[in-house]
Structure 1
């Protein structure tokens, strides 16, 4: 697992278009997969800054909402996956605050945030998941996006 692999996922898991309805469908897919795996998660999906899906399964708390906010802020600020950011910073031996002067009050370099990108348009939104491990959260998002988009040949972090 490395930041180059995650960058490749971001390139492959892009949309031709992205609507509110699609965001809701992806949110429901994330919840369904988490339930089937016995995971308790919270999910937030936004487009152009507008929250279009938010749900929290039993077992999550208001702290999960705070993690979602920070992950979403980080994706919006840097337009990339929070796990990819985390791995890059770890390789450089610096924190998000040291590298980019982003306050840990509002930003976090922890897996579970993923950019929504539309081909020919670019970055338009974010998907954030919290409640399990950072790698599991990232893998849950990429697995659901690959299913939704019909992309079977993408680099998986966990085999």
Structure 2
């Protein structure tokens, strides 16, 4: 039996899919997330969006630091490795009564099962990239990334 949080996170991934995802979409997504940070969060965050080949958008707002680069990288790597949001992956270990750090057998220098990175999924194609937010709690980072994706999809 899957926990409610895990089911909600999987539902987000099924629901928040694109018909296509272009470089221009990445720019718009990044700008929407900055807007959300300014209007709703009220503090600076780091935003990084890439396709599976290279970065498409990176912005570190005032108040962020080089520590955010570590978190962006390690959360994004989790999505690329597991194919699900970093929050889902972290929660899936908790649901098994352990933690990502204890049981994933991946180096913490490169992987952190904390919320904030979300897969960019194109229907019929699968994951084509990631959107990652850092600077808040893992749950808040995840919520901001998801809110940005929702806003981009709603703008179409």
- Return the TM-score normalized by structure 1: 0.90
Q: What aligned pairs does 1:1-159 form with structure 2 within 5 A after superposition? A: 2-37=5-40, 38-150=42-154
* CA deviation after TM superposition for structure 1 residue 97, in Å: 4.5
* CA deviation after TM superposition for structure 1 residue 102, in Å: 1.1
Q: Distance in 2 between matches of 1:117 and 1:143?
A: 15
Aligned residues: 151
Q: Distance in 2 between matches of 1:113 and 1:132?
A: 12
1:110-157 Cα shifts (integer Å, max 9, x gaps) = 000100110010011101000011111111111121121129xxxxxx
Secondary structure of 1:2 counterpart: helix
Larger displacement relative to structure 2 (32-41 or 3-12): 32-41
**Structure 2: which 5+ residue stretches go unaligned?**
none
Q: Distance in 2 between matches of 1:43 and 1:25?
A: 12
Q: Distance in 1 between matches of 2:154 and 2:12?
A: 13
Tell me the C-alpha RMSD between the 2 structures: 1.4
User: Match for residue 156 of structure 1?
Assistant: none
- Return the TM-score normalized by structure 2: 0.92
Q: Distance in 1 between matches of 2:101 and 2:38?
A: 34
